[in-house]
Structure 1
Amino acid sequence: MPYNFLLACWGVAGNLGPMLTAGRQLRRSGHTVRLLADSALREEIEAAGFGFTAWRRAPNYSDFEPLLVALDPTDLGSFSEHILFGPAAACAADTREELNAAPTDALLAHDMLLGSAIAAEAAGVPCAVLSPHISVRPLPGVPHVGSGLTPPRSFEERADVEAANRRFGDALNERLYLLNEAREGQGLAPLNHVFDQYDRPDRFLLAISSAFDFPADDLPDNVRYIGPLLDPPGWSKPWRAPWPAQSDRPRALVSFSTTFQDQADALQRVVNALGRVEIDAVVTTGPALVGSALHAPKNVTLLHSAPHDAVMKEVSLVVTHGGHGTVSRALLHRLPLLIMPMGRDQDDNALRAEARGVGLTLPPTASEAEIARALNRLLTEPHFRIAAHRLGAAIAAELDSAGLVGEMEEIVAFRRADHRPARKRLLRN
């Protein structure tokens, strides 16, 4: 039976890709899809054939991008106030308005858009939250995002993880009042803890691979792993390989963030390091570095963009900032990684890649010599390729059995069959 789905997208660039992939999967199954998103995304969303509505009250990405760039990743107070919880009331109002504007059988909302999930709960509309990265919601036994910790292997390490997760929750909970203001504005009862909000939606969908993620002791009832959502971006240009077809030299793809992370200097050092290694390379600079003057040796080709799936079929390794999409795509192509994380969820992805043995991590300040040594290790030590092949096969198998569409259809069917909300709404007295 065809349904009408509303998708609420946070931010731009890397966040839009998974949402468009989700939309395409739903549309291929016969459903109608429209998006509520940043005004800057109108052209790409409409080019993909989806209906579009821009945020009206909630801030667009351009409103808070300077804050994101300057934000200290350890400053949870500023992050929760200005990014996660502060806009929730405005986001809830916009989402509620859009839910009422057209028939909507269910909402799929980015996990940063807590206000959208609040609006769906208040409207009695089935809701799934999509997390296209390491879960912001700490899972039992897993170190919280940004902790720098690996899974515990002893009683002492477990105590450290639990203490870190408590501190993380306490820090976020200092802005609980902002979340509750958004809930009360929609006629819902306040919560006792910010993490309670993640229990309210029908589904919390992790668009990452469980084979890549650290294993949890157990999963909350509404959590599902659905695997990465990896359609190519709409701005990617056609690809023509710059190297001879019969060359037996190893090859690399270098790709950093599609948004600004002050990456030009680090990228130039990577390019210079490639000049020290017996390798051919393609560097895709992306929209964040338009106008940047990078200089490349003869064995390195600079491109604004290229379809990464096509490039990865021809390379031996990938150098990246550690964005989840690039890391997952490389692993699906069974490629080892050199990761130079610059913030956001990138350190967490790097920790998981190293723990699985599929790559190496360097700081973005690494010297040309350090980068060259890491590249040579990835090329000459076969255990990286073996581990990448093993993990990539596991991720591919998981994707074959994963089902965003099935999960979305199920929450609608359950609600209709039961003739009542799947989860009792917490209404304000």
Structure 2
Amino acid sequence: MAEILVVTWDGGGNVPPATGIARELLSRGHRVRFVGHRAQHRSLVDAGFEVAPSPRSRDFSGVQESSPVTMARTFSDRGLARDVIAALDARPADLVVVDCLLMGVLEAVRAHGTPYVVLEHLYDASYRSLLRGPIGLGMRLHGLRPGRALAGAAARLVASVPELDPSGERAGIEHVGPVVEWSPRVPGDPAVLVSLSTFAYPGMADCLQRLLDATAGLEARVVVTTGPVVDPASLRTAANHEVHRFVPHAELMPHMSLVVGHGGHSTTMRALAHDLPLVVMPMHPMVDQPVVGRSVARAGAGRVVPKAAPAKRVRPVIEDLLADGPHRAAAARLGEAVRARPGARRAADRVEDLVSHRRPGVPFGT
């Protein structure tokens, strides 16, 4: 039995890969603890996980809008890093699994000497782009050296598929596969799932309203999940709309014909796992959503529409992808690739391999 510490942050789509892998490790008899932002402690405990305290971490919540400066400070947070080291000193771990964006934590764990794995919950190409961009610059201005922290990792596990990741297969990373649940599709009448981010991006309520306007009167059932940021009561709806704050997508997607989303990696991979084409409306140009949307469009499994697109421009795109066509075969091909790499199981296998082959007192890679 191994002792594993998982470090995450309150960002939305980055959390399910971490919790999915942790749940798989728990099912195999390992001891797993989390360290994260205080705002997510309750949800982690409610999900059945042990959570170590994080009194020094910055106050951060994914349901509040945050500037790039705030995000850079959050990812560089040495307070959260001190909480992680305190958890390790209180109860040593065999391995630490760290969210790839928490560079302050990665630097601290490297210096501490406990072996660690970097969990990339997005395309590796998107991750590299973020590190080269303003957020990465902000990390470096905070005195961090991302290259050094990544080079010291025992492994870099990418929870995605190389068929879509522009990086493809390359040395130094391992595509373990998306951490998503899926069930066989259930035949039925046409149905569309509309769901944007659980993270507070500017203008999301307006975007959801335009998507509702675009699907009003469509010859399909339209299920909308608003998430914690947008109040369902604030939206105008039509007779064919069902609007909920939250319904598990794993329950909905087997009944859907199309997904309209923001290009979040987790939602996109779950849709493809169900062979569903996508309409992608990215919420922010500086994150991975535009890259995800373009990759799906290049593969022929969907289309990208701008965030500011009016309803009259979005509706024909939705109608085209709701119909039969080559986009459904493309989505099915990608679905097969996603299902062939069960991310939670493969990541847990890799963690177990790293722990079992580590000789006490000998660093990884020697």
Confirm or deny: 8 A CA contact 1:12 1:38 kept in the other structure: no
The question of 1:229 aligning with 2:175 is answered no
Q: How does 1:206-225 map to 2 (within 5 A)?
A: 206-216=158-168, 218-220=170-172, 223-225=173-175
Q: Scaled by the length of structure 2, what TM-score is found?
A: 0.89
Structure 1 segments unaligned to the other structure (5+ residues): 72-77, 139-143, 146-164, 181-192, 233-244, 425-429
Residue number in structure 2 paired with 1:263: 204
Cα distance 1:64–1:389, how it changes in 2: closer, same or farther (>3 A)?
closer
In the alignment, which of 112, 115, 121 is matched to residue 110 of structure 2? Answer: 121
1:307 is displaced (CA, Å) by 2.0
Residue number in structure 1 paired with 2:191: 251
CA distance in 1, matches of 2:47, 2:62: 25
Cα distance 1:3–1:215, how it changes in 2: closer, same or farther (>3 A)?
same
Q: Scaled by the length of structure 1, what TM-score is found?
A: 0.77
In the alignment, which of 123, 131, 134 is matched to residue 134 of structure 1? Answer: 123
CA distance in 2, matches of 1:79, 1:12: 13
Q: How does 1:167-178 map to 2 (within 5 A)?
A: 168=132, 172=136, 176=140, 178=142
Instruction: Report the identity percentage.
Output: 28
1:134 is displaced (CA, Å) by 2.1
CA distance in 1, matches of 2:225, 2:64: 22
Residue number in structure 2 paired with 1:74: none
Task: Give 3-state SS (helix, strand or coil) of 1:91's partner.
Answer: helix
Residue number in structure 2 paired with 1:339: 280
Where in structure 1 do 4 or more consecutive aligned residues deviate above 4 Å? none
Residues matched between the structures, number: 359
Confirm or deny: 8 A CA contact 2:65 2:200 kept in the other structure: no
Q: How does 1:8-407 map to 2 (within 5 A)?
A: 8-62=7-61, 65-68=64-67, 71=68, 78=69, 81-85=72-76, 87=77, 89-135=78-124, 136-138=126-128, 144-145=129-130, 168=132, 172=136, 176=140, 178-180=142-144, 194-216=146-168, 218-220=170-172, 223-230=173-180, 249-261=189-201, 262-290=203-231, 292-343=233-284, 344-399=287-342, 403-407=346-350
Cα distance 1:11–1:401, how it changes in 2: closer, same or farther (>3 A)?
closer
Structure 2 segments unaligned to the other structure (5+ residues): none
Confirm or deny: 8 A CA contact 1:126 1:415 kept in the other structure: no
CA distance in 2, matches of 1:253, 1:302: 10
Cα distance 1:45–1:415, how it changes in 2: closer, same or farther (>3 A)?
same
Cα distance 1:45–1:274, how it changes in 2: closer, same or farther (>3 A)?
same
Greater shift, 309-318 or 23-32, is seen at 309-318
1:354 is displaced (CA, Å) by 0.8
Cα distance 1:396–1:123, how it changes in 2: closer, same or farther (>3 A)?
same
Confirm or deny: 8 A CA contact 2:190 2:257 kept in the other structure: yes
Aligned amino acid, residue 371 of structure 1: V
Aligned amino acid, residue 199 of structure 1: A
* Structure number, greater radius of gyration: 1
Question: How big is each residue's C-alpha offset from its partner over 1:16-58, in whole Å with a ceiling of 9 and x where there is no partner?
Answer: 2222111101101110001001112222211222211232222
Question: How big is each residue's C-alpha offset from its partner over 1:104-158, in whole Å with a ceiling of 9 and x where there is no partner?
Answer: 11100101112222232222211001111123543xxxxx35xxxxxxxxxxxxx
Residue number in structure 2 paired with 1:241: none
CA distance in 2, matches of 1:114, 1:122: 12
**RMSD value over aligned CA atoms?**
2.7
